[in-house]
């Protein structure tokens, strides 16, 4: 299965369950598959996104999803795009500071890198 198909399948599954894609992490070798027209300057600007989410280079192929949760909380899940699939989950309180949330998300990315052997 192509890498793009794996991204598309994960996106479809999460979207079907009410999740919203907010960030995409890709390895340098995966980036051309997600951005097939990277030589075209106009396409390059548009292709900096995948399904409307910003794409950033990383050591792993992964997708960040979020959705509202009970009690005004917000759920975030970091999904590794690989076989077998793997995900990390965090639930944030409504009064939690955005800087603290971002620290937790960076820790989750570090844990995912460790899991993937990066």
For 49, residues 6+ apart whose C-beta sits below 8 A from its C-beta are 55
Decide: 94 and 52 in contact? Cβ < 8 Å.
no
Tell me how many helices (H) and strands (E) the chain has.
4, 6
* 103 vs 101: CA distance, rounded Å: 5
Q: Is the pLDDT of residue 39 over 70?
A: no
Average pLDDT in the chain: 88
* 17 vs 25: CA distance, rounded Å: 21
Average pLDDT of span 37-49: 53
pLDDT value of position 46: 46
Give strand pairing partners of 103. Answer: none
Average pLDDT of span 68-73: 94
pLDDT value of position 31: 85
Going from N- to C-terminal start, the domains of the chain cover 3-115
Decide: 66 and 22 in contact? Cβ < 8 Å.
yes
Identify the three-state secondary structure at position 111.
Answer: helix
For 22, residues 6+ apart whose C-beta sits below 8 A from its C-beta are 53, 64, 65, 66
Decide: 24 and 53 in contact? Cβ < 8 Å.
yes
């Amino acid at each position: 299965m192509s890498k793009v198909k794996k991204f598309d399948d994960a996106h479809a599954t999460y979207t079907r369950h009410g999740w919203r894609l907010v960030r995409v992490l890709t390895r340098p070798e995966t980036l051309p598959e997600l951005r097939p027209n990277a030589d075209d300057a106009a396409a390059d600007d548009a292709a900096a996104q995948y399904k409307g989410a910003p794409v950033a280079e990383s050591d792993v192929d992964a997708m960040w999803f979020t959705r509202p949760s009970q009690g005004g909380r917000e759920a975030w899940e970091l999904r590794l795009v690989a076989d077998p699939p793997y995900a990390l989950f965090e639930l944030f309180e409504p009064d939690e500071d955005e800087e603290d949330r971002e620290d937790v998300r960076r820790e989750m990315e570090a844990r995912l890198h460790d899991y993937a052997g990066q």
